[in-house]
Structure 1
Amino acid sequence: MIPKKNIPRAIKKALAQPEYAFSNLFHRVIASIYYHLYDGISYAPETVSLFLTYKCNLRCFMCGQWGEEGIFKSYSPSTLKDLISLDDVGALVRELKRYKTNFTLFGGEPMLHPHWLEIVHLIKKNGLRCNIVTNGTFVGKYAKAIINSKLDEIIFSLDGPEEIHDKIRRVPNTFNRTINGFKKLKALKEQKKTKRPLVNINTTINELNYKYLEEIIEIARDIGAKM
């Protein structure tokens, strides 16, 4: 059940993405029926998250992967080179296609996977929803390809205005690179008269950015993120 305080947000999201909302509702109803009819055996997953790569081009201080206490720092070079294969993704997509399972791509930085766009095309070709969670630094580079891929949604990290964002990311010019990329994406979407991909933000509130939340909202609105 949705908590009462989250109902307005859920309604707003459903109005923005009616097909997605209906699909999720249908899936949850079927899952509930399946659970009760088959002695607690679960239905197919509503969403599958694919971890594409350990690699990341940023070193955000609070990140549990590559930050100050990041676990990936202790991994061997051979482990860090591991990538999910296109064949494995294809097999999974074909298996779950009939259940209309949603796919979310993440990492590391998923756009560092050499075949991430092919993975998006594969998922979309099979009629399934595909989202990506990214730091946003490669959106400008791939803006045209992203729109052509029919990717449904981009969720990217925005943690403050320029100085704060770059301080958290610990790589110079990250803010400008990211924001300019999303402005390019927004312009291309307007040019092609398409709403896809939808853009949403993730913000990790911490001691460096908690005073800048209103600015973060304004920046997000300026690049076309859904608020």
Structure 2
Amino acid sequence: MCHFLEIIEDTENNKTYKKELSTEKIKHVIRSLPRSTLITFTGGEAFMKADFMDILKYSAKNHKVHIITNGVSLSENVVKQLIDLRTRSLFSSGLLYMGVSLEGREEFHDKVTVVPGSYKKTRAGLERLVDQRKKIGGKYPLIHLTCVISLGNVMDLVPLYDYAEKIGVNVCNFVLQNPATYWHAKDYDQANHLLKKPPLIEEIDPKTLKGQLDLLLEREKNYSSQLRFSPNYITPNEIVRYYSNQSSYKDYRCYTPWTKMAFSAYGDIFSCPHYRLGSFDNENNISPWNGERSREFRERIKNEKIFPGCLGCCQSEYIGSEK
């Protein structure tokens, strides 16, 4: 599962939000990005930040924007603002993509989120967003529904895809459950986690899982909602192996050090969530993209291709078994 709950709990219990970057600092960072950049806001939960809409509007002026949310905060007012921020074409700035996480049937979703009633709120927010887009007759923002595959929801995958098709979601994305632990407290250092094999995943009966994946693929032939699995290029057979703890990290590759950069609410900079590259507090106007830590990490990836701790990461790419 995603580790949003751990981050939110730490924020609330230890008041770590007081150490977050100011809105002006975040805007300064956004200004430094090339206009061709796609900015993704995730979390935790982005809408929990009081001035998030201000940051979002600022970002959408000159960049394409993608938001991943639990959907609970998608009220009529928020949805209207989001639709107003939409990009008008693939080549212009604005809100390009909205992702909403739904973990399965109501009972299971509420168990995962530890918030009774969150399933109904998430569905209501998602449907509100889709309906508002239909009203204006626009294509954007594109909308994806994301679900993490697990033993507890394996029989919910097909109904979720049916639901995505029914309401008009563009993409239904099923993601591997990642047992790794990420922690983005200020000045964190988890580089050693890359060398550790992640904990075993809770296994799913191979026949059951393969049967549900086959049903998804059969439906895709007639659905307008695109079916997607993450990591990129992963096959149904590999998904079955993964949930039998038979996968090898050597069958994956990582390209994030060349394609993505992220920063936490505290100003820590990273491409891989385990490997901290620096901080906005101490970069001395040197771009962390070309900093010493970045160059070192790229060199390590060139040599190693991938690390044991990368297995299950949604940012990796499946290349198939080595012969």
The question of a shared fold, defined as TM-score above 0.5 by the shorter chain, is answered with: yes
CA distance in 1, matches of 2:164, 2:96: 18
CA distance in 2, matches of 1:74, 1:164: 23
Task: Give ranges in structure 1 of 5+ residues lacking alignment.
Answer: 1-61
- Counterpart amino acid of 2:149? I
Task: Give ranges in structure 2 of 5+ residues lacking alignment.
Answer: 87-94, 171-225, 227-323
Q: Confirm or deny that 1:132 pairs with 2:71.
A: no
1:205–1:219 CA distance, 2 compared to 1 (3 A): same
- Counterpart amino acid of 2:59? I
Deviation sequence 1:58-112 (CA, Å, 0-9, x none) = xxxx44342xxx36656762324433322122212221135x1110011111001
CA distance in 1, matches of 2:17, 2:26: 19
SS at match of 1:203: strand
Question: Which residue of the partner structure matches residue 111 of structure 2?
Answer: 167
2:126 to 153, 176, 182: 182
CA distance in 2, matches of 1:165, 1:178: 10
Question: Which residue of the partner structure matches residue 46 of structure 2?
Answer: 110
Question: Which residue of the partner structure matches residue 150 of structure 2?
Answer: 206
Say what the alpha-carbon RMSD is for the aligned residues.
2.1
TM-superposed deviation, 1:157: 0.9
Question: Which residue of the partner structure matches residue 122 of structure 1?
Answer: 58
SS at match of 1:139: coil
CA distance in 1, matches of 2:163, 2:44: 24
Q: Confirm or deny that 1:191 pairs with 2:126.
A: no
TM-superposed deviation, 1:124: 1.5
**TM-score, normalised to structure 1's length?**
0.64
- Counterpart amino acid of 2:71? G
CA distance in 2, matches of 1:199, 1:153: 6
SS at match of 1:97: coil
Larger of the two Rg values belongs to structure? 2
**TM-score, normalised to structure 2's length?**
0.46
Identical positions, percent: 29
* Alignment length (residue pairs): 161
Are the aligned partners of 2:109 and 2:119 in contact in 1 as well (CA < 8 Å)?
yes
2:3 to 64, 68, 71: 64
Question: Which residue of the partner structure matches residue 272 of structure 2?
Answer: none
TM-superposed deviation, 1:149: 1.9
**After TM superposition, what 4+ stretches of structure 1 lie above 6 angstroms from structure 2?**
none
Are the aligned partners of 2:130 and 2:167 in contact in 1 as well (CA < 8 Å)?
yes
Question: Which residue of the partner structure matches residue 309 of structure 2?
Answer: none
SS at match of 1:108: coil
TM-superposed deviation, 1:145: 1.1
- Counterpart amino acid of 2:14? P
Q: Confirm or deny that 1:83 pairs with 2:38.
A: no
SS at match of 1:199: strand
